[in-house]
Amino acid sequence: MSTLTNLNKARKDRKRDSEKRDANMHSAKFGRSSADKQALVARLSKAAKALDGHKIDDKDA
């Protein structure tokens, strides 16, 4: 005798697989790697330090 298959479970599994595949394609197309994220954080922190270095204190003015 053959095994029974729950059609609702099979449908949900197909939908879940399709959504996961679409999400992976989207993240590969638009996402950033961790190296890119670290470079962005480093660039922003360097810019913030440079900006803070140019501030004029009330004592100096």
Enter the pTM of the model. 0.48
Residue spans of the domains in the chain: they are: 13-53
Which pLDDT does position 60 carry in this prediction? 57
- Grade residue 6 by pLDDT with cuts at 50, 70 and 90: very high
User: Rounded to an integer, what distance in angstroms lies between the CA atom of residue 11 and that of residue 20?
Assistant: 14
Tens digit of each residue's pLDDT (9 = 90 or more) over 14-61: 999 999 999 999 988 888 888 998 999 999 999 999 998 888 877 755
Q: Give Cα separations from 16 to 4, 24, 29, 44 (angstroms).
A: 21, 12, 20, 38
Give me the amino acid identity at 22. Answer: D
Which pLDDT does position 54 carry in this prediction? 85
Contacts of 51 (CB under 8 A, 6+ apart): none
- Residue the block writes with tokens 């004029």: 56
pLDDT at 13 over 60: yes
